[in-house]
Structures are given as C-alpha cells and as structure tokens.
C-alpha cells in the first residue's frame, strides 16, 4: 500500500512531467535544442508544439475534457431539510499571498467558500469543517485552512461554527483527517462542497474512508452543453490541465486503493 507521503511526492513529480502545458514546453525545449545543433529531427517536436497550440487556439479542447468530470455529480434536486455538517475541501487558496501581503488570495476556487457560507447561513444547525493543508515543498508553508479562516471570518462565520483541518496535502488526506476531526454520526447528513471538476475524486476518497456524503459541486468552469465563453488559449490550456490532473488522480486512486 502506498503511503500518503509517497503518493504526495510521486504525484507532484509526475505532474511536473506530464501536465499538458508542460509537455508543450518540453516539446519546445527539445525543438530548440535540436535546432541549435541543426538536427533534422527538430522539425518533429516543433511541428507537434505548433499544431497543438493551433488546435487549442481554435477548438475548446479544454472544455470538452473538463465537462464530463463536472457533469459526473450534481446537487440533489431538493436540498435536505436538516444538515448535520458541511465539509469543504481546499483546492488552491494561496497561503503565500496571505503571508506576503497580509490579505487572503482567493484565486479561481473561491466559489466553494461562497457555496459553503450560503449553506451555513441556511442551516444554522450544521457544523462546518474546512479541510486544507499546505502543498509547499521543503518548507513549512501556510495551510489553506489559515487562508480560509480569514475569508470565512469576513463572510460572518464565527470560529464556533467552523472547524479547520490544516494538515492534509492530498484529497484522500482531506477525507481521512476531516473524518477523524468531525466524527460524523452513523446515518448523519453531511454535504461535501468541492469544485465540480474535483468532485469525482473527492467522492472516491470519501468512499475509501467509509464516509457517506452528499455531493454539493460548486465553481463550475464549463456549461452543461453547447458553446461556452469565447475561446482563450490560456483558459483552454488551463482547463485541459485541470481535466488531465483530475483524470490522472482518479486513475492513481483506483490503482493504489482498488475499486470502491
């Protein structure tokens, strides 16, 4: 069985090599190196890189890849009348921005915090747990939970409503450590708030730890069908990276932990 630390290290190193945007960079570097040596093989990586960028400029490849992940789980048609708890997963809050500027940087995943705050206001009986540590390498970084505390405080959620789990580095650790903290009662109603693209992996992790949660996807980046926003090369590539990251994460979880 792979340990959480081993999974964290391998995932970070592997992703640095195989992220679609990084593969384009490696192809460009290879083409430049071969061209400097006047090697005829330079044409292959150069052409591959150029054609890939052209396709990403003209076609919404990133949205095509991301949409199935975002559509895998939906919110229930009827919101539960009573909720025992709300679990929110950290997905990219910048501790470095808070540390250097003294102001929290919400980043692209702030919609999960807004969804959680909205749920908490409608359900004052519910306990809120935010889970997110630091993914910093080789140093003690600022956990996402610290950033989330600043934001949720500003949104009017007092500390007595929210528990913060600040040690997790992976989605599986989010669920393991949050379950230890929350100690959910058997049969209790807990909502899992995460970005829609991240929800499949989050639900798989929840099944691994035996925690029955109701998915509450937020922060959608694609439309349910049809054309999305105007094409942008940067956004298209970012969405392709997200889709690849989540798909690889699902594959790794299934290979290392077996079927649910």
**Residue 239's pLDDT is what?**
94
- Tell me how far apart the alpha carbons of residues 43 and 50 are, in angstroms, rounded to a whole number: 10
Identify which has the larger pLDDT, 101 or 129: 129
Highest mean pLDDT among 33-47, 96-110, 179-193, 220-234: 179-193
Residue 260 has pLDDT above 60, yes or no: no
- Tell me how far apart the alpha carbons of residues 208 and 216 are, in angstroms, rounded to a whole number: 18
Q: Which residues contact 89 (CB under 8 A, 6 or more apart)?
A: 112, 131, 132, 171, 174, 192, 193, 194, 198, 202
Residue 8 has pLDDT above 90, yes or no: no
Rounded mean pLDDT, 137-149: 80
**Residue 204's pLDDT is what?**
94
The DSSP code for 71 is: T
Tell me the percentage of the chain whose pLDDT exceeds 90.
Answer: 63
Q: What is the pLDDT of residues 37-87, one digit of tens each?
A: 889 888 999 999 999 999 999 999 999 999 999 999 999 999 999 999 999
- Tell me how far apart the alpha carbons of residues 14 and 92 are, in angstroms, rounded to a whole number: 19
Domain ranges within the chain, ordered by starting residue: 4-70+233-257, 85-218
Distances in Å between the alpha carbon of 37 and those of 28, 34, 42, 44, 45?
Answer: 14, 5, 9, 14, 14
Is the domain covering 85-218 a CATH 3.40.50.620 domain? yes
- Tell me how far apart the alpha carbons of residues 191 and 187 are, in angstroms, rounded to a whole number: 13
**Residue 12's pLDDT is what?**
77
Residue 257 has pLDDT above 70, yes or no: no
Q: Give the H or E element holding residue 163.
A: strand 162-165
CB distance 224 to 203 below 8 Å: no
Distances in Å between the alpha carbon of 55 and those of 18, 50, 174, 237?
Answer: 19, 9, 36, 10
CB distance 83 to 189 below 8 Å: yes
Q: Burial level of 39, CB count in 10 A (0-12/13-18/19+)?
A: exposed
- Tell me how far apart the alpha carbons of residues 64 and 200 are, in angstroms, rounded to a whole number: 16
Rounded mean pLDDT, 224-242: 86
- Taking the model in full, what pTM does it have? 0.88
Sequence length of the chain is 260
- Per-position b or e across 22-37, b if 16+ CB within 10 A of its CB: eebeebbebbeebeee
Residue 141 has pLDDT above 80, yes or no: no
Highest mean pLDDT among 1-5, 16-20, 70-74: 70-74
**Residue 5's pLDDT is what?**
63
- Out of 83-87, 113-117, 222-226, 246-250, which region has the weakest mean confidence (pLDDT)? 222-226
**Residue 109's pLDDT is what?**
66
CB distance 78 to 121 below 8 Å: no
**Residue 160's pLDDT is what?**
83
Q: Is 49 helix (H, G, I), strand (E, B) or coil?
A: helix
CB distance 127 to 161 below 8 Å: yes
- Tell me how far apart the alpha carbons of residues 111 and 219 are, in angstroms, rounded to a whole number: 5
């Amino acid at each position: 069985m792979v340990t959480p630390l081993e999974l964290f290290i391998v995932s970070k190193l592997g992703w640095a090599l195989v992220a679609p945007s990084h593969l384009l960079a490696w192809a460009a570097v290879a083409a430049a190196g071969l061209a400097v040596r006047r090697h005829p093989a330079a044409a292959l990586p150069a052409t591959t890189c150029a054609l890939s960028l052209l396709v990403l400029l003209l076609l919404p490849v990133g949205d095509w890849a991301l949409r199935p992940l975002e559509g895998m789980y939906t919110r229930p048609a009827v919101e539960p009348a009573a909720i025992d708890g709300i679990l929110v997963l950290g997905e990219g809050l910048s501790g470095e921005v808070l540390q250097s500027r003294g102001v929290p940087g919400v980043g692209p995943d702030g919609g999960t915090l807004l969804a959680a705050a909205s749920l908490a206001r409608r359900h004052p009986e519910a306990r809120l747990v935010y889970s997110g540590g630091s993914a910093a390498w080789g140093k003690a970084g600022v956990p996402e939970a610290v950033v989330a505390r600043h934001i949720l405080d500003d949104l009017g959620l007092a500390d007595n409503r929210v528990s913060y789990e600040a040690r997790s580095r992976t989605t599986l650790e989010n669920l393991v450590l949050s379950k230890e903290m929350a100690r959910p009662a058997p049969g209790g109603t807990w909502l899992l708030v995460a970005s829609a693209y991240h929800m499949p992996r989050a639900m798989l992790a929840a099944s691994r730890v035996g925690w029955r949660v109701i998915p509450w996807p937020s922060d959608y980046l694609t439309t349910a069908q049809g054309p999305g926003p105007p094409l942008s090369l940067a956004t298209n590539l970012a969405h392709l990276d997200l889709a690849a990251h989540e798909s690889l994460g699902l594959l790794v979880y299934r290979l290392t932990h077996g079927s649910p």
